[in-house]
Amino acid sequence: MFKLLFKQKYSILVFIITVLCAATQVATSYGFSLIIQATVDKNLKFMVSATIAVMLIYVVLNTLGYFRAIYVEKLIQNFSTRLRKIAIADFKKKLVYNEKHNNGAECIALNTTDIQQFEQYAANCLFAIYSISLVVISTIVLLKVNITLFIISLALSLLMMVLPKYFNKAIKTTTKDISKSTEDFNKDLENALASSEMLNNFSALNLLDRIVNVGSNNIKNAKVNRKKSIMTLQGLNVTLNAGNQIALIFIAGYFAYKGYIEFAMIFAISGYTGEFFGGLTKVIELYPNFASANELLNKYPEIKEEKSLPRVEKLDKEIVVSNVKYNYPDKTVEFPNLTFEKNKKYLIKGKSGSGKSTLINILNGDLKNYEGSVEWDNRELKQFDIKSAISTMNQKVQLLNLSIKDNIILNKEYNDKLFREVLENCKLVDVVDNLEEKENTILDNKNLALSGGQLQRLGLARSLYHKKDVFIIDEGTANLDSKLADDIEEIILKDKDSTVIMITHRNSEKIENLADNVITLGS
Q: What is the secondary structure of 346-413 as a DSSP string? A: EEEEE-TTSSHHHHHHHHTTS----EEEEEETTEEGGGSB-GGGEEEEESSPP--SSBHHHHHHTTSP
What is the pLDDT, as a whole number, of residue 102? 53
pLDDT digits (tens, 9 = 90+) for 469-513: 888 888 767 667 777 777 777 777 888 888 888 887 777 777 778
Q: What are the two backbone dihedrals, phi and then psi, of residue 184, each rounded to the nearest 5 degrees?
A: -65, -40
The Cβ of residue 142 has, within 10 Å, a number of other Cβ atoms equal to 24
Q: What is the distance between the alpha carbons of residues 147 and 357, in angstroms, rounded to a whole number?
A: 80
What is the pLDDT, as a whole number, of residue 301? 58
Ranges of each domain in the chain? 2-297, 318-521
H-helix or E-strand spanning residue 421? helix 416-425
Domain 318-521 bears CATH identifier 1.10.357.10: no
What is the pLDDT, as a whole number, of residue 56? 92
Q: What is the distance between the alpha carbons of residues 325 and 362, in angstroms, rounded to a whole number?
A: 10
Q: What is the secondary structure of 231-285 as a DSSP string? A: HHHHHHHHHHHHHHHHHHHHHHHHHHHHTSS-THHHHHHHHHHHHHHHHHHHHHH
- Among 460, 470, 462, 465, which Cα is nearest to 312's? 470
Query: Architecture of domain 2-297 in CATH?
Result: Up-down Bundle (1.20)
Q: What are the two backbone dihedrals, phi and then psi, of residue 447, each rounded to the nearest 5 degrees?
A: -140, 75
- Among 476, 453, 462, which Cα is nearest to 422's? 462
SS3 444: coil
- Among 174, 180, 159, 280, which Cα is nearest to 227's? 174
Estimate the share of the chain in helix, then strand, then coil, as percent rounded to the nearest 5: 65, 10, 25
Written as one letter, the residue type at 186 is N
User: Distance from CA of residue 117 to its chain's centroid?
Assistant: 12
Contact 516, 344 (CB under 8 A): yes
Contact 34, 265 (CB under 8 A): no
SS3 120: helix
Rg (CA), the chain: 34
Residues sharing a CB contact under 8 Å with residue 419, sequence separation 6 or more, in sequence order: 405, 408, 409, 439, 465
Q: What is the distance between the alpha carbons of residues 3 and 125, in angstroms, rounded to a whole number?
A: 12
Q: What is the distance between the alpha carbons of residues 516 and 500, in angstroms, rounded to a whole number?
A: 10
355's torsion region: left (phi>0), alpha (psi -120 to 50) or beta?
left
Residues of the chain with confidence (pLDDT) below 50: 303-306, 447
What is the pLDDT, as a whole number, of residue 303? 42
SS3 473: strand
